[in-house]
Amino acid sequence: MVLIPFDKYHGAGNDFILIHRNLNSISDRSELAMLQCDREDGIGADGVLFLTIDSTTSPARITMDLRQPDGSIGSMCGNAARCVGKWASDFLNLKEIIIETPAGAFPSKVFGEDIQIKLSSPSFEPADVPILSDSPFIDQDILGLSVTAVNAGGVTHSVAFVDDINDPTLINKAIDIRHSDMFPEGTNVTFAQEIQTGFKQRTFERGVENVTLACGTRACAIVSILYHSKQITCDQPICVTQEGGEDLFVIIQKTGSTLLRGPATHEFSGEFSPL
């Protein structure tokens, strides 16, 4: 029987199963993700990354196919991309790569223990988010929260700045917002709380359908809103502390592009039987 080798990584607590060999032996990637992401009966993860490597270009290009725990396809995930960057450094000795995703192509670089991803400019335009609104949805009331909708890193986000991200009433509101008819493709819901070092973040993630320990594009969404409202300037690094306790740093460049930087860690490797 053919076995599927895998590597397990996490980016600031956001964990993924990376697979790049024997992909032809996998008949249904979504079904495999639902099975192996299960934290009781599978390996346990926030997603599975199926990787295809093209080393004929410089820098090398790696296609990242993200399948989430519910089997859906993720267009992009900042921490997943950073895990791919770390994996490419660890196993392929590549310090710079281009990561191809359904949301676009994103350069990745290694800086010491950190991995940096360069993301596209955020958009507040309703068609880009997407959200059913005649104008940008900024600081609008939903369930008593002041919510802003933004596409950051190619992903739909709803962000509310609150006094306490651990307020127990927020999770039920997050579930309602995530499934709101206003968002034709659903949305990730993030709560941000200002602290002395920057901001703390708590995210209810679409596809995972739960709070995750970290989320890179959501950190970018928070900083994008701060920049859009002129609370910060371009090239100013903002620290966003994740649910798992680790920090990510986000910079909005003069060009509008977003830099996401932080740690990524190899946890273990193994193999399993295909479906």
- Residues with catalytic roles: 77, 215
Question: Residue 153: which of 234, 48, 232, 75 has the closest Cα?
Answer: 75
